[in-house]
Structure 1
Amino acid sequence: MSDFPFAIVGFDLDGTLVDTAGDITAALNHALGLAGRAPLSEAEVRPMIGLGTQHLLEQGLSATGGVPEGLSPRLYEALLGFYEANIAVHSRPFPGLVEALDRLDALGVRTAVMTNKLEQLARLLLGELGLAGRMAAIIGGDTLGPGKAKPSPEPIRAMIEACGGGRTAFVGDSIFDVMAARGAGATSVAVGFGFLHQPVEELGADHVIGHYAELVPLLERL
């Protein structure tokens, strides 16, 4: 019987489990091109990721000339369609992640994902990368309905419940991850390699790691 102190380790997806910036940038630039806008670099897009597709599109339009009045839903649909068709061209798990999941699995820990990405896209991406079957639960930004995405703690609570309950750590790369984890009573761990909107030390997480090799040893000490 493992004496590991956590029953569940949950993860954000974009910028935490998987570096998805290349594919998200391509999809955003596809939509911007349809609007007659210039493309953005991956470095420009990274800080725009994490609050869902609508927010991403609005940020991209704002950065390339402004958000038009009565924004056409066709741009949103075009972005989603392109992304779904090209979801894992460049996206890869961050270094050390698979080894960390192997170690957690060996310890009998349940792992799960809670992301503001649409659940269907999260499942598709994790499936393409061979990670979906490793997760006891996958909760998307739309799983619980409108207004129930991070920073609300409700989807983290739903993730914990779906995993059978128990002491939980949640790993993320944004202040919304930290806020949601705190609200759900989970220990928050921030990654220094994610799509950071601010220095990782300013996120207010309980703990910070710079590589996935640090995750299990950190949690073992808590």
Structure 2
Amino acid sequence: MTALIFDLDGTLIDSAPAIHSVSNAVLTARGYPALSLDEVRGYVGKGAPHLVRCLLQSVGENPDGPLFQPLHDDLITRYETEVEGNTLYPGVVQALEALAAMGCALAITTNKPYRPALAAIAHVGLDRLFPVVIGGDSLPTRKPAPEMVHEAQRLLGHDRALYVGDSEIDAETAVNAGLPFLIYTEGYRKTPLDALPHAASFSDFKALPGLVEHWTWP
């Protein structure tokens, strides 16, 4: 039985529209101008503190100044309830159900805070498929540090696992965790695919069960 550990944003779900909406809500509530979707998408992937610092910097404020904490707290509160805009990538549910039927153990590790991550996962109907979810505030470190992935492996009870993600952070996480990296090419990656270390790539989730079924361990 193979364990698969997934990233969330940009891998299983397109969360950028939801994050864009929440980010603009916390900014405009304080009189700042709204930001574009592309700009906010570029801030996604390194956790809520990073996102808040980027938002503050984008409107000309000190990213570590007195506005950081209230903006962060407002963002987290909204994150847990304002979940519209989180959508599944095509074929995700079918692929996950096929993997579960194959006996694969599934987990999510995300830099999104734990409770907002659970809310987003439930909104798109994935909560039934993932017994293990580790958020960006679940442990003292975040990705690309390997501890979240290693904790997921421990909870799933597997020494061997594949890591599935979409971004530069995910590639670095897989290297740090010592896991083969399967990259979904339609997410939030900015770097050319051939510049990122990966064991396999896929652009359609229909291909993922086959990749896993025929995976050869060294």
Aligned length, in residue pairs: 214
Question: Which whole-Å CA distance do the structure 2 matches of 1:35 and 1:205 have between them?
Answer: 42
Tell me the residue number matched to 1:208.
201
How big is each residue's C-alpha offset from its partner over 1:59-99, in whole Å with a ceiling of 9 and x where there is no partner?
12222334366232211112222222212x11111111001
Is 1:81 aligned with 2:74?
A: no
In 2: Cα distance, 1:186 partner to 1:56 partner: 27
Look up the equivalent residue of 2:132 and give its one-letter code. Answer: A
Distance 1:198 1:36 in 2: 34
**Stretches of structure 1 lacking an aligned partner (at least 5 in a row):** 1-5
Matched, 1:189 2:182: yes
1:182-207 C-alpha deviation (Å, 9 max, x unpaired): 22222101111112232333222222
Deviations 1:102-139 (A, max 9, x none): 11011010111000111111112212222112113111
Counterpart selection for 1:132 from 102, 112, 127: 127
Secondary structure of residue in 2 paired with 1:39? coil
Which is further off, 156-165 or 51-60?
Answer: 51-60
Q: Secondary structure at the match of 1:61?
A: helix
Q: 1:70 to 1:204 in 2, by over 3 A?
A: same
Task: Name which of 59, 62, 74 aligns with 1:64.
Answer: 59
RMSD: 1.7
Q: Structure 1 residue 179: deviation in Å?
A: 1.8
Name the structure 1 match of 2:37: 42
Paired position in structure 1 for 2:165: 172
Runs of 4+ in 1 over 6 A off after TM superposition: none
- Establish whether residue 55 from structure 1 lines up as the match of residue 65 from structure 2: no
Distance 1:24 1:106, change over 3 A: same
What is the one-letter code of the residue matched to 2:126? L
TM-score (norm 2): 0.91
Corresponding residue for residue 27 of structure 1: 22
Identical-pair percentage: 33
Q: Indicate if the aligned counterparts of 1:35 and 1:75 stay in contact, CA closer than 8 A.
A: no
Distance 1:69 1:143 in 2: 22
Q: Secondary structure at the match of 2:115?
A: helix
Compare 192-201 and 62-71 and name the one that shifted more.
Answer: 62-71
Q: Name stretches of at least 5 consecutive residues in structure 2 with no aligned partner.
A: none
